[in-house]
Each structure stands twice: as structure tokens, then as C-alpha cells.
Structure 1
Amino acid sequence: MQLSDLSRGLDTVWVVLTAAMILLMEGGFALLEAGFVRQKNAVSIIMKVFVDIAFGALVYYLIGFALMYGKDAFGLIGGSGFFMRGDLAHLPVNISHETYWLFQCAFVIAVISIVSGAAAERIHFRAYIVYTIVMTGLIYPISGHWIWSSGGWLGKLGMIDFAGSAAIHALGGFAALAAALFLGPRLGRYGAEGKVNIVPPSNLPLASVGAFVLWFGWFGFNSGSTLSATNAAIGHIAVTTMLASAAGCAACILFTILRYQKADPPMVINGALAGLVGITAGCAYVSDGAAILIGAVSGVAMVLASEWLEGRKVDDPVGAFAVHGVSGAIGTLAVGLFAQPGAAAHAGLFYGGGWRLLGVQALGLAVVAVWGFALTWVTLRLIGWWRPVRVTADEELVGLDVSIHGVPAYSQDRDFIDIDLLRQSDPFPPKQR
């Protein structure tokens, strides 16, 4: 066996393994979001995760991968590789095109899963399927091409986004914000005269386990982006990932104690995730100390962003925008400040690289944020011409598990449930509404 064959084999095993770790994160999304929403909508949110995986993988195989990594046209879009056929020889990887597709497929599934949490408890299931197809087939692949393909215009300018603080998390976060604004708040979430009604999570232990699964999968997310089992940076990437997530979590614990006199469990859970999102762009390029700072700032900013949204009556049940949109923005800009010479193609501002990289990072962030927000809003508007995007008030009050899927998440210890009766039931008679 030649050394090149051995290297290719090791890289293939590494990429497949880390792709599987990223796919396992969907279990984390399912548990996290099911724990954050009310019991009557737990099945609904898990069904959306299945849509993310099933439709996301198929659509990305058919058209998304080609638009993202196909032969470049004017730096804007790929034009080869549909159905994984045609010209893909330009891909600079030491693994097969199918292996590379598998890894990127895990990424695209993560993007759409960000949006599902912001739209939880009120988006219609069929409308969500259509939106998933558009996001995984058009919205994400096209903006991803600008950053990550060999001919993308943002990549040519010098934008750095190692594992996707902008390409995945800022895009998904701002798309989530658009979805939350388009759908409006859940019934009863905000009262008269600006009163905020808290909707407590249904199962915080479940959400915590979901966060731990996401935490584990993130090491595949970041370290796997080397696409090489022999890359010496893998260890450093794993360390910065761990430090940033720990700093985000610790910062939220301390900040919520100071702010609320209690460590807020949902905020602490999201704080760890905010640190992970923040370090994703620069995990290979920044120092350990910078990783701690990025994670801590991301965690505190997530809390403040959550409060800001709540004050403006924007209902985001799982904090998708605060975690992914805000922390993704911080992580993207942080590369322009902390990228170390030799590690990145261009050094950051604090390492003598001047303002150029920070400016490119800011431009790329703005483009991706506007693209994700605007295309999501337009897509949901177009879907609304075909069928309602939001469920009816009665369906929302009963819960989407029963009204849309015909089955509750918990059987209440009964041996049998009359599904027909449940489908017709309404626990909120008119006089109580």
C-alpha cells in the first residue's frame, strides 16, 4: 500500500466519523427543543427534526451540493455536480466526492434545525416541509458557495470561516429571526400593556441532555472541518472548542446570578451553546486565551439578546437567534481581531494585520445575515399564498402533537388512547379563551 492510499483511507475514516458525530447533533436538537417547548408540542418539534434530516439530505444530494460546490459561475453559484454527477474534479480534497458530500450534508441539516426552534409551536408542518426544501436546496447552498467554494466571491476577498459561525450559524440565526417575526408570538405569550407571560420549559433535564449531545457533536463539527485525520491542528481546534464552550457556560452562570440573583438554567444551557457557536469560525486560528474571551462574550451577549427580543415581543421559544445569530456574528467578527499570523491566511487586527480582515469579515457577516433573513421572509410569504404558514388558533391551543400529528407525546399512563377523540377535543372551551 502506498503512503498516499493510507493517507486517503485515514482521511476518509476521519471524515465519515465526524460526519456521524454531526448527524448525532440532530438528536441533541430534538431533545433540547422538546425540553424547551410545552409538552403538547414535543412530538411536533421532533417531527421537524426528522424533516430536516430526510428532506435536507435528499434535496442537498439532488441540487444543493451542486449549487454550493459545483463548478463556479461568476463567484455566485455552482453549476455542476447535480445528483452527484458531472464535473467535481475541482474540489481540493483528499477524499472521495461522496465522502465530502456526506460531511457537508451533516452541515446543511444543522442549518435548517436552527430555524425549527424559532418557529416551534405555531408553524404548520406542511409549510415547514416546503421551507426546508428551499433552505437546503437554495438559500444555504448559494451563500455557502460565496464563502467556502474555491471560486466564491467572499472567499476570494479573504473571508475566514473555518467551520461556519457565519455560513451556518449566522445564516440560520437570522433566518430564525425572520421566521419568528413572520409567524408572530405564540398565543398568550404577551399580554396587554407590554406584559410578558413566561412559558416555562416542559422538561429541563431533557433539554440539558440535548445540550450535552450537541456539545459532544461539536467536536466533530469543528475538528472534522480539517477534512484530514493527520492535520496537526486537530488538537488545538478541540481545545479552543472546549474552552470557548466552558467560558460561555461559566459566563452565563455568573452573569445571571448577578442579574437575576439566580443562575438561570435555560440561559446556562444556551450559554454553553453560544460559546460553541462563537468559536466555530476561528477555532483553528485563535489562541486559547482568545477562545475563552470569545466564549464568554458570546454567552453574555446571548442573555442580553434574549432580553432585547423579549422586550420587543419577538417570540423565539428556544433562543435560536440569540444563540446562533448573535453568537455567530460575534465569532465571525472575532476572527478579524484575533486570527494569529501563520495560522490564518491573514492576521487579525490585534496581531498586526490591520483592518482589512475585520472589514471583510463584517462584510461577509452582513451579506449572509441579510440573505438569510430576506430569503426566509420571501419564502414564507410565497408559501403563505399556497397554504397558511401558521396553524389555526384552535390547533395551537390544543397543541400541534394532537391537532397536526394525531398523537400526544406522553400517554399519561393509560394503556389506550382514543386518537379520534383527541383529534376532536379542545381543552379550552370558548368561555375560557
Structure 2
Amino acid sequence: MDNVVIGLNTVWVVLAAAMIVFMEGGFSLLEAGLVRTKNAVNVTMKIFVDLTFGALAFYLVGFAFMFGGDWSGVLGIDFSATSTGVTPNQLPISAFVLFQIAFAMAVASIISGAVAERMKFSAYIVTVMVVCGILYPISGHWIWGGGWLQQLGMKDFAGSAAIHAMGGFAAFALAMVLGPRKNRFNKDGSVNVFAPSNIPLASAGAFILWFGWFGFNAGSTLNALDSNLSHIALNTFLAAASGGASAVLYTMARFKVADPSMAINGSLAGLVAITAGCAYVGPKSAILIGFIAGVLVILATGWVDKMKVDDPVGAVAVHGFNGAFGTIAVGLFDTQQGLFFTGSSKLLMVQIAGVLVACVWGFVTAYGLGILIKKSIGIRVTASQEEEGLDVIAHGIPAYNELERFSDTGAVEYFAASLEPTQQKPILQMQNK
């Protein structure tokens, strides 16, 4: 019987890990749809960096720092942990490692959207390797690997703090180091809107992320027979639905239109916010948490803009601010220890302290990393490269190769004329070849 239970748990964890890996496809489509056409290939390639360089860095180094025993509550030190480490529920170590690799990649993908359209591709590779290999695993150890925050009693079931708040504020710091895209902000502080290239594509990405989040949250049980599994899945869905609904209602009331990008980010904000407490709160609390998150993401987007920090996809508002809110919400809505259910503020204080640590760690270390990269290999493309678009500059191909639609030179020239001047040259050069 024990072998059957272990087998079921193994299958569930591997399946959940695959669902989380599939979320990278969601990140790719979401970001490709929200950035301008000339940078769609570049954001997709950055997701490939997360899946390759990020995954390898976490496996080779990061897993040991996160789960390789415990040294003074600060970090793990056993670099044989990927083959000999102790796992929950007697899982094979390979299944547990795979699941944690998928989580690590998600941290990097949060950053990719915030630095879109102006970060050097080589600089992004370095950033992902350091974040997945060192920065995320160290703070993750504090929360999940037996470290000091876990010892204090912090609750973060699937990563509102460990993944989203930490990754969101790391993204915030790197966006600050990079500076805004050209012409994004005016001298009077007003914001120029850069229209997304493809909202249906971004919506498809959001739907994939929503689907994968069931693996993200329910998979964190690491137990196929956990009686709380369906409760976690229901809370996850309800928070996402509520976040999307409140974002739609808020934009209709404030802007007189149902803004699609905010509807997308509202649902994602609900998912982020419920991630910490999905196993600890009731369904009605999940709806309320999601509803608040859907409004908070819109407000936070405005706050980030007022600070003249350019975040093309709203990653800081979705992940950073709502990761922090969701972590604190556990201290309020936890049915066993939350303030609203017990009258005790003990867990709330631990949650606030824990998420502040995660946010500060993510921001300070990423800012230092950004400055170091800036002074060494360089972090930002040139102004002319930014104007031309990173697809052709960094990868040699546009996202939408319209040449296939035309059979004569005149048609190609007509298409090229519809582009920005700096984009016309590579199109015409390709035709001449």
C-alpha cells in the first residue's frame, strides 16, 4: 500500500511540475501580446532563457542553497541534495527537484516582462542565472527550506512571498536600473501609452497561466491524497475570477471602458494574492482577497508609473504588490490563526515581517546585480537598437514575417512603408536576398 501511495504522489507531483512548466508558454504569449510587435521575439527568447539557463543554474547550485539542509537558518550547504536530499511524503528526490525547478523558472519569468524592450540579451542571461542560482534560493530557504522565517511560523503555502513578492520587487529594481523606454514619460510626468501588439495573444497567455496555477497551488500539497487538494484548487479559481471581475468593474467605473489588459492583470493578481493562503482560507475569503487584488493591481500600476519606472507588462503591480498583499492576507483570513477568525495578531505580525524581508531582499540584491552588470558587460541596448526593435537586432528575425504574404517586390515595399523607418531596412534587405 505504501508503494501505491508513493507512486500516486510521484505522478501527481510530476504532473503538477509539468503544468507549471507549461506556464512558461503562458508567460511567453502574455508578454509577446503586451509588448510592441518589434520586440515579441525577444520576450519569447527570454522565456527560453528561463527554461534553459535558469533551470540549469537552479539545479546545479540553487537547489542546494534552498534545500540542502540548514546552516544557522540562513541557507543550505549540501551540494549533493539533488540526489540524496530528504523529501516530503517519501517522494523520489528527482520528482521534488523537478517541481522546485519549475518554481525557480517562474521567478525569472516575472522579471522578464518588467525589463522588456530595452535590456541586452546577454545581460538577461546573466541576470537569470544569478537570480535562479543564488538570490531566489537563499530567500526561499528562509521561507521553505527550514530557515529562520519558517522557524518563526511564517505561512506561504505556494509562494506569494517566496516567488511573487521577491521576484516582483527584483523586477522593480532592475527596471529602475534600466530606466524607461524612450518617450515613455514626458517632462511633466505624464505617461505615453505604448499600445500592446496583440491583446488576444496576451489573453491566451493569461488563460494558460490560469490553468497552470492549479499545478502551482494544488501541486504544492506534494500529496495526491491530501484532503485539502480540491479546496486549494477551488480557492485558486475563485480568487482569479474575483480579481478579473473587480478589475473589469473598476475600469468601467473609472475609465468608462472595460480595459482588457487590466482584466488580464486583475485575474493574474487574484492568482498571485491567493497563492500564499490557498490552503489556509475559506472560499469566501478567497473571493474577497481576489476582489481586492483586482483593484490593487490597477492602483499599483499607477503608482509605478508615477515613480517613472517603466514596466511594460505590469509585472511589479501583479506580482510584487499583490504577492505582498496576499502574504499579509494570510495573517488576516487564516481560519486557524488569522486576526479576523481568532482575534490574535501574532501570525499577522510574522507575515508582515516575512514579506518585508522577501521584498527588501529581492529589491536590494537585484538592484546591486543590475548596477554590477551595467558597469561590466552593459545592461541596456543603444538608443538606435531600441528604436529598431530587439527582434531583428538580437535574433535576426521579426515576429511576424509578412514577406510570406507577398509575391512581388512592390507588395513588400508597400508593407515596409507601413513600418517605422528603422524597421524598413531589414525587411527590404531580406527581400533583396
The offset of 1:137, in angstroms, is 0.3
Do 1:127 and 1:383's aligned partners in 2 also have CA atoms closer than 8 Å? yes
- Give 2:428's aligned residue: none
| CA distance, structure 2, for counterparts of residue 63 and residue 388 of structure 1 | 25
Q: Which amino acid aligns with 1:116?
A: S
| CA distance, structure 2, for counterparts of residue 201 and residue 219 of structure 1 | 27
Do 2:276 and 2:327's aligned partners in 1 also have CA atoms closer than 8 Å? yes
| CA distance, structure 2, for counterparts of residue 193 and residue 298 of structure 1 | 30
For residue 312 of structure 2, the aligned residue among 313, 317, 320 is 317
The offset of 1:81, in angstroms, is 3.4
Aligned with 2:188: secondary structure?
helix
Aligned with 2:422: secondary structure?
coil
Q: Which amino acid aligns with 2:125?
A: I
| CA distance, structure 2, for counterparts of residue 102 and residue 278 of structure 1 | 24
Aligned with 2:402: secondary structure?
coil
After superposition, give the CA deviation of every residue in 1:308-340 in whole Å (9 maximum; x if it has no partner): 112222110000010001111111000001111
Aligned with 1:391: secondary structure?
coil
Q: TM-score w.r.t. structure 1 length?
A: 0.93
The offset of 1:286, in angstroms, is 0.1
For residue 148 of structure 1, the aligned residue among 137, 144, 150 is 144
Q: Is 2:134 the counterpart of 1:138?
A: yes
- Give 1:271's aligned residue: 266
Do 2:68 and 2:81's aligned partners in 1 also have CA atoms closer than 8 Å? no
- Give 2:7's aligned residue: 9
- Give 2:46's aligned residue: 48
| CA distance, structure 2, for counterparts of residue 271 and residue 280 of structure 1 | 14
Do 1:61 and 1:83's aligned partners in 2 also have CA atoms closer than 8 Å? no
- Give 2:357's aligned residue: 367
Q: TM-score w.r.t. structure 2 length?
A: 0.93
Q: Which amino acid aligns with 1:88?
A: G
After superposition, give the CA deviation of every residue in 1:251-285 in whole Å (9 maximum; x if it has no partner): 00101111101111100110000000000000011
Q: Which amino acid aligns with 1:212?
A: F
- CA RMSD of superposed structures (Å): 1.7
- Give 1:74's aligned residue: 72
Q: How does 1:20-419 map to 2 (within 5 A)?
A: 20-82=18-80, 84-85=82-83, 87-89=84-86, 91-149=87-145, 151-341=146-336, 347-352=337-342, 354-414=344-404
The offset of 1:380, in angstroms, is 1.2
The offset of 1:7, in angstroms, is 0.2
| CA distance, structure 2, for counterparts of residue 136 and residue 58 of structure 1 | 9
**Structure with the higher fraction of residues in helix conformation:** 2
In structure 2, the CA distance between the partners of 1:22 and 1:374, relative to structure 1 (3 Å rule), is same
| CA distance, structure 2, for counterparts of residue 325 and residue 37 of structure 1 | 20
| CA distance, structure 2, for counterparts of residue 221 and residue 353 of structure 1 | 31
| CA distance, structure 2, for counterparts of residue 428 and residue 390 of structure 1 | 23
Q: Which amino acid aligns with 1:391?
A: V
Structure 1 gap ranges (5+):
342-346
The offset of 1:21, in angstroms, is 0.4
Runs of 4+ in structure 1 displaced over 3 angstroms? Answer: 413-418
The offset of 1:57, in angstroms, is 1.3
Do 1:63 and 1:83's aligned partners in 2 also have CA atoms closer than 8 Å? no
| CA distance, structure 1, for counterparts of residue 342 and residue 307 of structure 2 | 40
Do 1:24 and 1:213's aligned partners in 2 also have CA atoms closer than 8 Å? yes
Do 1:61 and 1:82's aligned partners in 2 also have CA atoms closer than 8 Å? no
The offset of 1:27, in angstroms, is 0.2
The offset of 1:34, in angstroms, is 0.2
Aligned with 2:368: secondary structure?
helix
Q: Provide the identity percentage.
A: 55
Do 1:302 and 1:327's aligned partners in 2 also have CA atoms closer than 8 Å? yes
Q: Which amino acid aligns with 2:258?
A: A
